Structure 1
């Protein structure tokens, strides 16, 4: 398939994911749509343009691993897993309902395709480093991808993990930072400044790439780069827009955990048509 065809397919998947994710939040009256929407293009690119996996064999040894460290962004993760064939679409209608497999945070005991339980921020990155170390020790071919929020990087466990990854030269590890510059309540730089984020990771022994987190072609180019010859882990700083795709949500901190009413849902569906 031509690269342009793949990119077009990813954009179509991402649009479907946004529509489904927002409907899920509306039906549940719970969720984190702003962070879902900043991450969806990244997650769609990984699942439909980059990663190696088999949804019918979720534990396939040679699969690439993906960890959603910003575990509250389940709208992005659950819709991707559904579109990838891990479970049927009607499961999405149960989102956050009693006894649903689709909890507010992902649980590997309930859902195929979830590598580890996440939710408490700062946990996913250390787990990803451990998985990458395991692959290095066993000379395995798989790549490990982990997506964090930028506000999440205020958790010190991430920097312990980053130091370890740099020291061990985990060339098959890729961290993607959803750099939407907003966290719950206000901007990241008002809360605890992260910039210059690229220089921080370079100082920890990482290669760094900066990319538009909504440009599918640019994401494919940097995330598809062969990892075999890389001697350092890769940090991809993906500049994104919280709430991307819905005008009244974009760049609004209040939509970190905002819930739409029926009128807002209708407007969003029209904009996402």
Structure 2
């Protein structure tokens, strides 16, 4: 039986394509097929991921192991097609990997694996884990006095998990300025939040803003807004999951 880890390690030597543009992302996503694509989960994050990797994150294929790189954690890891497409577009992984998405010997699993995919920081997909991990990551970088920032992408339904509420309360209380949460809201939460999802962060002392999750300029301004002494949350609203 073939070992997936050995397969992925040898594949790292493949030549990577030049950086692609946003318009090419649908074509890259179309290369990934199968029965477990989680289409709504993937497409809802596409614009957020693109703006982050194209204009915000201080990380590149050449700096995936640099100590001072920004960390991006995909907590919403059960729909990684858009994530893989963006990583391929930016040269982190070869495009030749995309058609093998989800197959036995492919490094591109239905959940991202940090040991198999260059640029992936955590193995994710169990909802409610990414934000607490991001808090620990941001604390560690702060203790090391590094300027690197931590970004974590969560879904609105995922915010029902109690572990997230503990993480939000703690990060707000200690003023974890290096932590940034991107919450993609496609109206899939069971009950929602009185006053909107941003209010859940604000009540714990966070800086928070709600924007159109398809508006690239609005996303960029929200991601880069100053928030001295406080963690920052961007709620990116997109079309409802079952619209």
Say yes or no: TM over 0.5: yes
Cα distance in 1 for partners of 2:40, 2:24 equals 16
Correspondent of 1:16 among 20, 24, 31: 24
Q: Does 1:252 align with 2:242?
A: yes
Q: Which residue matches 1:240?
A: 238
CA distance change for structure 1 residues 101 and 146 in 2, over 3 Å: closer, same or farther?
A: same
Deviation at 1:193?
2.5
Correspondent of 1:47 among 29, 53, 56: 53
Q: Does 1:57 align with 2:63?
A: yes
RMSD: 1.7
Q: Does 1:175 align with 2:173?
A: no
In structure 2, runs of 5+ residues without a counterpart are 1-18
Deviation at 1:138?
1.5
Cα distance in 2 for partners of 1:83, 1:52 equals 16
Higher relative contact order (CA 8 A, sep 6+): 1
Q: What SS is found at the alignment partner of 2:72?
A: strand
Do the aligned residues in 2 keep the contact of 1:18 with 1:37 (CA within 8 Å)? Answer: no
Cα distance in 2 for partners of 1:66, 1:235 equals 14
Deviation at 1:68?
0.7
Q: Which residue matches 1:246?
A: none
Q: Which residue matches 2:3?
A: none
Q: What is the TM-score of this pair, normalised by structure 1?
A: 0.78
Q: What SS is found at the alignment partner of 1:67?
A: strand
Q: Does 1:219 align with 2:201?
A: no
Structure 1 runs of 4+ aligned residues shifted over 4 Å read none
Deviations along 1:98-127, one digit per CA (max 9) or x if unpaired, are 121000000001111000110100010011
Do the aligned residues in 2 keep the contact of 1:144 with 1:172 (CA within 8 Å)? Answer: yes
Correspondent of 2:72 among 57, 60, 66: 66
Q: What is the TM-score of this pair, normalised by structure 2?
A: 0.87
Number of residue pairs matched by the alignment: 224
Deviations along 1:191-215, one digit per CA (max 9) or x if unpaired, are 2222322222111111111111110
Cα distance in 1 for partners of 2:168, 2:64 equals 27
Do the aligned residues in 2 keep the contact of 1:18 with 1:40 (CA within 8 Å)? Answer: no
Cα distance in 2 for partners of 1:34, 1:156 equals 24
Correspondent of 1:38 among 24, 41, 44: 44
Q: Which residue matches 1:102?
A: 108
Deviation at 1:226?
4.8
Do the aligned residues in 1 keep the contact of 2:128 with 2:163 (CA within 8 Å)? Answer: yes
Cα distance in 1 for partners of 2:194, 2:26 equals 29
Deviation at 1:61?
1.0
Cα distance in 2 for partners of 1:34, 1:22 equals 14
Do the aligned residues in 1 keep the contact of 2:64 with 2:119 (CA within 8 Å)? Answer: yes
